[in-house]
Copies of this chain bind each other. A is one copy, B any other.
Amino acid sequence: MTDTDYDVLAIGDAVVDVIAPADDGLLAAEGVPKGSMRVLDADEADRLYARMGPAQETSGGSAANSMAGIAALGGRAAFVGQVGPDQLGTIFTHDIRAQGVTFDTPSLAGDISTGRCLILVTPDAQRTMNTYRGASEHLSVDAIDADQIARAAILYLEAYLWDHAKPRIAMKKAADFAHEAGRAVAFTLSDIACIGRHRPDFTELVESGRVDILFGNEDEVRALAGTDDLDAAMAALAKNVDLCVITCGAEGAMAIRGGEIVSVPAVKPRALVDTTGAGDLFAAGFLAAHAWGRSLEASLALGAAAAAEVIAEYGARPRGELLPLAGN
C-alpha cells in the first residue's frame, strides 16, 4: 500500500488516564464490577477522584493507545479526537505527537474540559475504568477530513465513542469516506456495556457492510451476535465482515476470514503489573502487521507480543521499546 501516508487512522476518545492503585474495598464501595468500564458525569468523576489515592497521569483513550502502539512499532498512524482548551488537552496532544502519531484535530473552543479516565488498578493487576468523556463527546463531523482518511490503508473506529450523536455521525461519515477511497474499515466493540447500549446500531453497522475488520473479545462477540455459542457467533459475524479478530485473554487470540480460522497463544508478560491497554496494544500489533501485508498468524502474533509488553508496565501506552517486536 505505497499510495498511503498512514497504515491506520483512528477516531476515538481523547482522554487522559488518571491511574491509581486501589483495593477491592473501593470497588465495592463504588459498586463497580472489577474490570468493567463505566461512564461518569463531571460531578461523579470529581467525587470518585476525591476517593482515589495518589495517581499518575498518562495520555489514554482506547484507539489513541492503539495508534501510539502502531507508531512505537514503527508503523504510520494518525488520530482524530477532541480535547478541550486546557492543560490535560496539552498533555494529550504532546504525548500522541511525541510518539510520532499525526494528530491535527483543533482543541474545542469554550470551557468543556478534556476527558479523563479514572483507572483503579487492583493488586491482581486488573483495571476498572471510570470515564468522564468531556470534550471527547463533542467531536464533530467538521473534524473529519475525507482526504486524510483516503490516505490511510485502514480506518479504525472505537465503539466507546458511540454514546453521543455528534461523534457517531462523524464516525459513520468517516467510514463512508474510507470506502469511497477503497480503504478498509475496522471497528472495535470496545466493551460489553457499550454493546448493551447500542446492539441494534452495531448490528446494522455490521450488516450494512460498513465494517471490514471487527475486533472484540469472546464476550463481546457473543453479545453482538446474540448467542452464548461462540462458534455460532463467529459464523454469524463472518457472513458480514471480511475479517473477525477475537481476543481470548490468557487463552490468546484468533482471526476468522472466510472459512479460515487462525489462532495464537497469549504471550507471557515479563511482569503482571497492569492490564490497562492490553486490548488496545493487541489491536495495534494486529493492525500494523495486517496493514504491512503480513499473514493472519503473524498479525495475531504481533498483537499478542505488543499486549504482553504493555501489561508489564503501569499505564496503557508503551513506555519501553516496541520496535524490536515488529521485526522490520
Contacts and interface: CB of A to CB of B under 8 A. Distances in A.
A190 interface: no
Contact of A95 (B55, B86, B91, B319): B55
26 contacts: A20-B98, A49-B94, A50-B94, A53-B98, A53-B99, A54-B58, A54-B68, A54-B95, A54-B96, A54-B98, A54-B317, A55-B58, A55-B94, A55-B95, A55-B98, A56-B56, A56-B57, A56-B58, A56-B315, A56-B319, A57-B58, A87-B87, A87-B88, A87-B113, A314-B314, A314-B319
Interface residues of A, number: 27
Contacts of A113: 87
Contacts of A91: 55, 57
Nearest to A99: B54
A59 B18 CA distance: 12
Given A21-B319, A86-B87, A319-B21, A54 B49 contact: no
A57 B54 CA distance: 11
A267 interface: no
A52 interface: yes
Nearest to A94: B49
Give the residue among A20, A56, A319 with the most B Cβ atoms within 10 A.
Answer: A56
Given A50-B94, A54-B94, A55-B58, 13 more contacts: A20-B98, A21-B319, A49-B94, A52-B98, A53-B98, A53-B99, A54-B96, A54-B317, A55-B94, A56-B56, A56-B57, A86-B87, A87-B113
Interface of A: 20-21, 49-50, 52-59, 68, 86-88, 91, 94-96, 98-99, 113, 314-315, 317, 319
Give the residue among A21, A50, A94, A113 with the most B Cβ atoms within 10 A.
Answer: A94
A315 B20 CA distance: 13
- Give chain A's interface secondary structure class: mixed
Contacts of A86: 86-87
Nearest to A84: B87
The 6 A-B pairs at the shortest CB distance, nearest first, are namely A57-B57, A54-B95, A87-B87, A56-B58, A54-B98, A54-B99
Contacts of A94: 49-50, 52, 54-55
Contacts of A53: 98-99
A137 B94 CA distance: 26
A267 to B, nearest CB: 22
A88 B314 CA distance: 21
Nearest to A317: B54
Contacts of A98: 20, 52-55
Contacts of A21: 319
A54 B99 CA distance: 6
A317 B21 CA distance: 13
Nearest to A19: B56
A49 B97 CA distance: 12
A59 B68 contact: no
A59 B57 CA distance: 9
Nearest to A53: B98
A283 B53 CA distance: 22
Give the residue among A98, A113, A314, A315 with the most B Cβ atoms within 10 A.
Answer: A98
